[in-house]
Amino acid sequence: MVEGDQKFILYIKLRFGRELCLWGYLSSDAGLDIN
């Protein structure tokens, strides 16, 4: 993974942490892996 992508993802996680947790829960519940 590119370092810039990691920084972007970190920014998104910090800014939209709650939404990402919800997405992670829904995706894992659906059997998907978005990471």
Q: How far, in Å, CA of 25 to CA of 2, rounded?
A: 25
pLDDT in tens, 3-35: 888 898 888 888 887 777 777 777 666 555 554
Residue 26 structural domain: 1-35
pLDDT attached to residue 16? 82
Domain count, the chain: 1
pLDDT attached to residue 20? 73
pLDDT attached to residue 3? 82
pLDDT attached to residue 32? 55
- Tell me: pLDDT of 2 over 60: yes
Q: Which residues have a Cβ under 8 Å from the Cβ of 12 and sit 6 or more positions away?
A: 20
Q: How far, in Å, CA of 11 to CA of 3, rounded?
A: 12
pTM of the predicted model, to two decimals?
Answer: 0.36
